């Protein structure tokens, strides 16, 4: 019989990631697994037992190949003919945190639980963040896999 984690047993940790030269897709995969709780032994699909993730220096994340210029994000206004298109190049000028947030959101399953889990992702431009009180554990992506950082 499978033992499911109880609500009282859930302990959420705080993780800090530096986004400097991190590849968007690889960073998003790590974040989505962490905020869902799939990296824990007591993973339960229907419960929110993931960790909080803080990403700093999000304006310095990178794409491989020509994706920075050629990748397209589509959205619809809801009106006839209201499809809008943008690229990461344009988006990075206005809202660089939106690039990573969209990548992570699209890796989560749809539904109310995914929406709740996405609130555990905190993205900030620059080195400063207001979560020092939580004592986040810093994780270096290049130690997990050397391909996670773009070599220039």
- Could you tell me the pTM of the whole model? 0.91
Each residue's pLDDT expressed in tens, for the chain with a length of 152 residues: 667 888 888 889 999 999 999 999 999 999 999 999 999 988 888 899 999 999 999 999 999 999 999 999 999 999 999 999 999 999 999 999 999 999 999 999 999 999 999 999 999 999 999 999 999 999 999 888 888 888 76
All domains of the chain in start order, with CATH: 13-63+96-148 (3.90.1180.10)
Alpha helix (H) ranges present in 10-133?
24-36, 67-70, 88-94, 96-105, 112-118
Tell me the three state secondary structure of residue 18. Answer: strand
Sheet strands side by side (includes 52-56): 121-123, 52-56, 14-18, 137-139
């Amino acid at each position: 019989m499978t033992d499911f984690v109880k609500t009282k047993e859930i302990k959420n940790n705080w993780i800090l990631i530096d986004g400097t030269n991190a590849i968007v897709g690889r960073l998003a995969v790590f974040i989505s697994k962490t905020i869902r709780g799939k990296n824990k032994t007591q993973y339960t699909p229907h419960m929110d037992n993931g960790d909080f993730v803080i990403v700093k220096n999000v304006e310095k994340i990178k794409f491989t190949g020509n994706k920075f210029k050629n990748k397209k994000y589509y959205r619809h206004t809801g009106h006839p003919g209201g499809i809008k298109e943008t690229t990461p190049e344009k988006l990075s000028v206005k809202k660089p945190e939106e690039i990573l947030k969209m990548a992570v959101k699209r890796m989560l399953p749809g539904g109310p639980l995914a929406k709740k889990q996405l609130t555990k992702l905190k993205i900030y431009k620059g080195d400063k963040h207001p979560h020092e009180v939580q004592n986040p554990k810093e994780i270096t992506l290049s130690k997990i896999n050397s391909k996670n950082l773009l070599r220039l």
